[in-house]
Amino acid sequence: MTQSNGTAKAPSNRRQGEWSAIRPFLDKAPVDVGKVAESLGIKVLQSRLGPRISGILRRDPGQGARSGYVIIVNDAHPYNRQRFTVAHELGHFVLHRSDDFTELADDEFYRALPGPLEREANEFAADILMPWALINALMAEGCNELPGMADRLKVSRQALAVRLGLTYDQDWEN
């Protein structure tokens, strides 16, 4: 989902109107993923979903905002994980929903699958939470260390390491 020059690009299967609604939120760290969801007409709710379920994208005209969809995120998960889950579910909404779509629950097993839908949703989440223009701006400000940049972007160090193409070192968590 990223061009070779490191700028986010809207692939042909993203609906242009939705991408246009998202773009204004990508210039300030941390990206307000709640406002992104709101701009797409999606209501974000928190609930205890069980230890292995991160989030659910559900068609729910009764609870959903103008799109008729809700994202339910596991309130037991860490804040940065919840942010990534919302962005990931937004990816499914923009890239993968269809007229017969009713619900998708992302659990640890499903996210670990090597299929293109999960990879695309993860790339979409990275494009939203860690846009290259924002990464470059932080570096220009002197924020060049992975832990500090992850903190500013409100993402996990592991997610940022993947985005930057670095091998993740678990010692960064200490």
CATH number at residue 63: 1.10.10
Report yes or no on 99 lying in a domain.
yes
The span from the CA of 74 to the CA of 49, in Å, is: 5
Question: Which uninterrupted H or E stretch holds 72?
Answer: strand 69-74
Tens of pLDDT, residue by residue over 75-114, are 999 999 999 999 999 998 898 876 555 555 554 444 445 6
Report yes or no on 69 lying in a domain.
yes
Tens of pLDDT, residue by residue over 150-162, are 999 999 999 999 9
What is the reported pLDDT for 102? 54
With a CB cutoff of 8 Å and minimum separation 6, the contacts of 89 are 55, 56, 57, 71, 73, 104, 106, 121
pLDDT mean across residues, the chain: 82
Q: How many CA atoms lie within 13 A of 156 on its CB side?
A: 17
Please state the domain count of the chain.
Answer: 1
Report yes or no on 14 lying in a domain.
no
Report yes or no on 171 lying in a domain.
no
Token duo for residue 127: 């494009």
> Which pLDDT band holds residue 51 (cuts at 50, 70, 90)?
confident
φ/ψ (deg, to 5) at 36: -60, -50
- Give yes or no for residue 31 having a pLDDT over 90: yes
What is the reported pLDDT for 10? 47
Report yes or no on 174 lying in a domain.
no
pTM: 0.82
Q: What is the dihedral of CA 87, 89, 93, 95, to 10 degrees?
A: 70
Report yes or no on 75 lying in a domain.
yes
Structural domain for 81, as ranges: 23-165
What is the reported pLDDT for 109? 40
